[in-house]
Amino acid sequence: MTYPAQLVELIEEFQDVDDQMERLEMVFEMADEVVLIPIDDWSDRTRVVGCQSEAHVHVSLDDGKVLMASAADAQLVQGLMGILTIAINGSAPAQALLLSPAFAQEMGILKSLSPSRSNGFRNMFDKVMLEIRGLVE
C-alpha cells in the first residue's frame, strides 16, 4: 500500500538496521514523538485493553485532521505509539483509515517484539482506528 512520505522514510530507516538491540533503541526514541496524555487523564475510556503495560490513547480532530494523543508506562509501548503518531497525525481521517498495521511488519519492529507485545500493538492500532471511525461517522 502507499504510505505517507514521513512513514516511508521511517520504514526505510528501520529496514536499514539489522541489529535487534539497535532497532529497539530506535523504537525507544520514538516515544518522544507522541502527543502525551497526562497520567491524570488516563482512564478506562483511554486504556488499550490487551496491552501488558498501561497504555492509553485518545483521538480527536484538529481542524479536520487526526490528532492522536497517547501515553504508556513502558517506553517501548510509547515508542510504538510514537510511530503510529508519525503515521497518522495531521492526516485526513479518510486517509488515516487507509493505513494497515502491516507497516509495522515492513519496519521489522514486530520481529523485535514478543507475541504479547505485538498483539498489544495491534490492539492499540485497532482502538485508534475505531476512534477515528467514530469521529467521522
Partner 1 sequence: MGGGDMIETVTIEGSTYQTNEHKFEAGTPRIAEAIGWDAAFGWMESLDLKQEHKRMLEIARYTAAELRALGMTVYGRHDDADSAVVSFLHPTLHSEDLAHLLDAGGYAVRTGHHCAQPLLHRLGISSTVRASFYLYNTMEEAERFIAQVKIILERFV
Measured CA to CA in angstroms, residue 117 lies from 50, 55, 78 at distances of 9, 11, 12
- List Cβ neighbours of 34 (8 Å cut-off, separation of 6 or more): 69, 70, 71, 78, 81, 82, 85
Closest contact distance (angstroms) between CB of 117 and partner 1 is: 7
Q: Which lies closer to partner 1 via its Cβ, residue 9 or residue 29?
A: 29
Binding stretches for partner 1 (CB under 8 A): 20-21, 24-25, 28, 52-53, 73-77, 112-114, 117
Closest contact distance (angstroms) between CB of 58 and partner 1 is: 21
- List Cβ neighbours of 116 (8 Å cut-off, separation of 6 or more): 52
∠76-95-30 over CA atoms, to 5°? Answer: 20
Closest contact distance (angstroms) between CB of 24 and partner 1 is: 6
Confirm if 81 and 70 have CB atoms less than 8 A apart. yes
Closest contact distance (angstroms) between CB of 61 and partner 1 is: 31
Q: Which lies closer to partner 1 via its Cβ, residue 25 or residue 62?
A: 25
